Structure 1
Amino acid sequence: MSAVTNPATVAECLRMGAGFSQGDRNWIVEQFAPLDARLATFHADATELELSVKNREAKGQKVTLECWVAGRQKIVATSTEEDLNAALHDARDDLRRRLNDAKTRQEPRNNKHLRDNSPPTPAASTNLDELSGAGATTEER
């Protein structure tokens, strides 16, 4: 597997949506720093994140974090926590889980429980040949 030449980071890919200002950006990038390790496996130019909030700091607040990676389905993580900081962390952690799940589903070669590519043993193939009569001529059968 080749290394990503321009890895995605939250700082590079995050767009502020409804309910957030550019003044909130630096604080949010710090809160989302744990996502950088997961995003680093994708190219920055093929990855987008958008964060938005409805009813900020009010009852019924909803934080939405959307992630687009080229060649994959859009991933949406949401939180209805009343505290904004808790909601951001909840959405961040949910996105990280969903990215891990999507990566595992798309690339089972990295998960030994999902693959079974062991070649047949020579003894097993010999036994199958004997049972099926392979190698014997029509007259011998």
Structure 2
Amino acid sequence: MTAVANPATIEECLRLGAGFSQGDRNWITELFSTLDSRLAGFHADATDLELSVKERGGKGQHVSLICRISGRDEIVTTSSEEDLHAAVMDARDDLRRKLNDSKTKQEPRHNRHLREVPTPDVTDLEV
């Protein structure tokens, strides 16, 4: 994998949407810092993460995390956990899984099973 000149980081790419204030940014950035190594393979100017919450603190609280990376499908993760920290971590962990799945789909050459070519049966060949 080639190094990216301006790698994406949570600090640069995370936008807080509805339900979050700039006062929440520090603890969210700290929770999401584990994603930095996963995002480092993408350009910062082509990566966008948006975190929002509906009905914060209410019974129907719903956290959404949207990841947009140029050239890839949009990834949306959600959580309805009642505890806000747990919901944010749940969305973060789901994003990590989906990013890994996306990478596997995007780069199948690293999948050994897809590279294997069956050898022809010599009895089927005509001379």
**Cα distance, 1:22–1:108 mapped onto 2, change above 3 Å:** same
Rounded to whole Å, the distance in 1 between the matches of 2:13 and 2:50 is: 8
Asked if residue 132 in structure 1 is aligned to residue 117 in structure 2, the reply is no
Aligned counterpart, 2:4: 4
- Deviation of the 1:115 alpha carbon: 2.2
| 1:97-112 map, 5 Å | 97-112=97-112
Q: Which residue of 1 aligns with 2:20?
A: 20
Which amino acid in the other structure matches residue 125 of structure 2?
L
TM-score of the superposition, structure 2-length normalised? 0.92
CA 1:117–1:26: 2 relative to 1, 3 Å = farther
Aligned to 1:92: 92
Within 5 Å, give how 1:35-46 maps onto structure 2. Answer: 35-46=35-46
Of the two structures, which has the highest relative contact order with CA contacts closer than 8 Å and spacing of 6 or more? 2
Tell me what 1:60 maps to. 60
Once the two structures are TM-superposed, the CA of residue 117 in structure 1 deviates from its matched residue by 5.0
User: How many residues were matched structurally?
Assistant: 127
Counterpart of 2:115?
115
Q: How far apart are residue 113 of structure 1 and its match?
A: 2.9
| AA partner of residue 114 (structure 2) | L
Q: Structure 2: where are the runs of 5+ without partners?
A: none
Amino acid of the residue matched to residue 65 of structure 1?
A: L
Quote the Cα distance in structure 2 between the aligned partners of 1:103 and 1:109: 11
SS in 2 for 1:68: strand
Aligned-pair identity (%): 65
State the distance in 2 between where 1:49 and 1:65 align.
7
- Aligned equivalents of 1:69, 1:39: Cα separation in 2: 10
Residues of 1 paired with 2:40 and 2:117: CA distance? 28
Question: Aligned with 2:67: secondary structure?
Answer: strand
User: Looking at CA atoms only, which structure, 1 or 2, has the larger radius of gyration?
Assistant: 1
